[in-house]
Structure 1
């Protein structure tokens, strides 16, 4: 449901008005959000059958299977194009924590928290599968994300979301206590045209060949 793809650095200023995007590329409107204190947790509608387990030092194949299952329809792609070595350097770092959300024994969501920057935590990836949207699983996962992050001596928790995500993503983050602080535009190759993702992924985002 919700993604947190980290955008690459871009030019500090964009021209006013419309800017054409070449065919085969995607232009992604990114909203950056943060919080500087732990908010009051909102009650989940239902937590029956839900559990969260940490995935310690996951191997790249297992991690990518989960990453793809949760993020394919929202165009999560960054971890699919990394080398195994580059990916392992991140997800096997002791300051990076990856969690799997289960419902009735099935994997239905993922959470990744990055504490590598002193005093801060990045909510790098956060999402639940389509079947879990609207069931309370997202709120359950967010409450755990906030509790885990703020149990550390941090001063800031931050995240990115974008217009490729579920339309409820941004309001969900704001209801959870995050406040927008910046907008970015990210231009990338369309992963459905490069073969990284199937053409059927993210049908809400048009393909321009």
Structure 2
């Protein structure tokens, strides 16, 4: 199996005032928190958003592993809907000492280029900053961070920077080259 170099960039905000919100897109776009842990729905979002950009680390998770992850205090999934249809999502994970990671963020392929991504990232980042308000006993957020890589969409880094995220680390590692999983992007073979 051949390997390819993959660059991973880590970015952060250290104050809520770092967030530079994007304008809301035209039309009926809503962002709603998925409050009921649903492994099926979360796996659908993960596979549908990440299928064509080679997100594979969670494809082998069992139903129980998904449920365990989603039921952890401080894990939240915020879903963008365009006219009632899922368009993308942002997954937040509270970490120790007031740190929140934007673990996953992205749009389904059909929703890209509709000006939804900047709005969803703005909204999700704002929810990372006020996450402690929804989880009693949590330390207020002092830092929001994420990582993106050279496999992600071509506009990902620009979107993060336009929302006020600052680069704090860069790594290059060799990873096995893999084909898009499944019979089409986002589908996982049985």
What residue is the counterpart of 1:13 in the other structure? Answer: none
The answer as to 2:129 corresponding to 1:150 is: yes
TM-score with structure 2 length normalisation? 0.83
Q: CA deviation at 1:47?
A: 4.3
What residue is the counterpart of 2:155 in the other structure? Answer: 168
Q: CA deviation at 1:198?
A: 2.9
The answer as to 2:45 corresponding to 1:58 is: no
Contact 2:30–2:81 (8 Å) recurs in 1: yes
Distance 1:43-1:181 versus aligned 2 partners, 3 A rule: closer
Contact 1:77–1:191 (8 Å) recurs in 2: no
The answer as to 2:9 corresponding to 1:37 is: no
Contact 1:72–1:201 (8 Å) recurs in 2: yes
Which secondary structure does the structure 2 equivalent of 1:192 belong to?
coil
Aligned-residue CA RMSD in angstroms? 2.2
Unaligned residue ranges in structure 2 (runs of 5+) = 133-139
Distance 1:139-1:129 versus aligned 2 partners, 3 A rule: same
What residue is the counterpart of 2:110 in the other structure? Answer: 131
Distance 1:43-1:176 versus aligned 2 partners, 3 A rule: closer
Q: CA deviation at 1:188?
A: 3.7
Distance 1:190-1:82 versus aligned 2 partners, 3 A rule: farther
Which secondary structure does the structure 2 equivalent of 1:145 belong to?
helix
The answer as to 2:57 corresponding to 1:75 is: no
Q: CA deviation at 1:68?
A: 0.8
Contact 1:110–1:126 (8 Å) recurs in 2: yes
CA distance in 1, matches of 2:79, 2:25: 18
Moved more, 170-179 or 127-136: 127-136
Contact 1:56–1:92 (8 Å) recurs in 2: no
Distance 1:81-1:27 versus aligned 2 partners, 3 A rule: farther
Contact 2:19–2:122 (8 Å) recurs in 1: no
The answer as to 2:87 corresponding to 1:108 is: yes
